[in-house]
Amino acid sequence: MTQGLTQLSSDERMFYDQVVRFARDRVGPHVSHMDEKGALEKSLLPELFELGVMGVEVPPEYGGPGASFFTAALAVEALATVDPSVSVLVDVQNTLVANALLRWANHDQKTRYCGKLTSEWVGSYALSEPASGSDAFALQSRAVKTGDRYVLNGRKLWITNANESNLFIVFANVDPSKGYKGITAFLVERDFKGFSVGKKEDKLGIRASSTCELILEDCEVPEENVLGEVGKGYKIAIETLNEGRIGIGAQMLGTAQGAFDYAMRYMNERKQFGQTIASFQGMQFQYARCAMEIEAARLMVYNAARLKDAGQPFIKEAAMAKLYASEVAERVASQCVEFVGGVGFTRDYPLEKFFRDSKIGKIYEGTSNMQLQTIAKLLQSQYGG
């Protein structure tokens, strides 16, 4: 039994095991090829919808299973033990896109889109721009009201799932004179006039996850596709990303666990000087520390997800979980490459890919420095600063 999973309920454990089996049996055979060509295996998409991991929290009245945020995080973790690229597709679908719709969309919007997100449509979250990364509210995209619609112009960068997505939550400013209070969120369908997907990035890791530019050239969006209130997009962006960080923590947790599981199997089979590699005390001290750090990351991620589901404050815990899990993933994956020796440095074995995939955890959905800033601000407030 994987360490840490003993704390799950029987239903949660059954769900986790089901997703792990799917990842190993259905995703596993495609991982190397997807990484090499930098694209998702298209046949996996309908299977992910059939598995029930696309829109985990969507309630039954809108066509979903009505499960918890914690369940979505479990799916993300389980998939990442085999392929973090597929994991992040599911993560963005749940913790950013579906989550934002469930919190901020009106009944008509939920009726139109939530069912599709559980059955056939992939979603993307489009906030970042060429000059707007950590300074998210410096975005330059503009939206001008014209009759019963808005006309959007601008460019978005680093948009996950863009090649596969049918629905995009796009942030643009309707009144730059108001600064961030002019930012508004729009529900943009792929076939809307003036909308197109541009260049796909050629990345170090999570290569099968599409990361693309979006181009808005007089893109026409019906007024009824404003998500939430006009001028309140900044609130949607902040609060959704706070929750999304738990998903990235889960992805990094799964990445670390996947690398560790492979390395441990290898070390218990490979012999040197008449004994298995795992038997040497020098190795034992190292992989024992890896196991401890993975377990600590798991407890932090699970705690943040459970707090979110319980309606309790979780922003500090989410930032800590994302920060720590991404550090653990990079450190453990690097160690695991060394544990198996020279073959770990080759593409014939999966560990070099886990190592490459781990790097993004410190960067997207808030860099490590931004997480530290968030934690520090909340601690300062807590202690009366």
Phi/psi class of residue 103: alpha, beta or left (left: φ > 0; alpha: ψ in -120 to 50)?
Answer: alpha
CB burial of residue 45 (10 Å; 0-12, 13-18, 19+): middle
Q: For residues 241 and 315, give the distance between their C-alpha atoms in angstroms, rounded to a whole number.
A: 10
- Residue 299: count of CB within 10 angstroms of its CB: 15
Q: Where are the alpha helices (DSSP H) in the chain?
A: 10-22, 31-37, 44-51, 69-80, 84-91, 99-104, 107-119, 233-267, 281-309, 315-339, 351-358, 368-382
Q: For residues 182 and 226, give the distance between their C-alpha atoms in angstroms, rounded to a whole number.
A: 13
Q: For residues 334 and 355, give the distance between their C-alpha atoms in angstroms, rounded to a whole number.
A: 6
DSSP 104-165: H--HHHHHHHHHHHHHT-EEEEE--BTTBSSSGGG---EEEEETTEEEEEEEEEEEETTTTE
Q: SS3 of 219, please?
A: strand
Q: Which residue has the tokens 């069912």?
A: 115
Which candidate in 243, 327, 352, 365 is catalytic?
A: 365
Rounded to 5 degrees, φ, ψ at 149 are -145, 165
Counting Cα atoms < 13 Å in the Cβ hemisphere of 11 gives: 4
Q: Which residue has the tokens 């309790």?
A: 312
Cα diameter, the chain: 79
Q: Is 41 a catalytic residue?
A: no
Q: For residues 96 and 251, give the distance between their C-alpha atoms in angstroms, rounded to a whole number.
A: 14
- At residue 370, what is the residue type? M
Q: For residues 54 and 96, give the distance between their C-alpha atoms in angstroms, rounded to a whole number.
A: 12
Q: Could you tell me if 304 and 363 are in contact, meaning their C-beta atoms sit under 8 angstroms apart?
A: no
Active-site residue set: 365
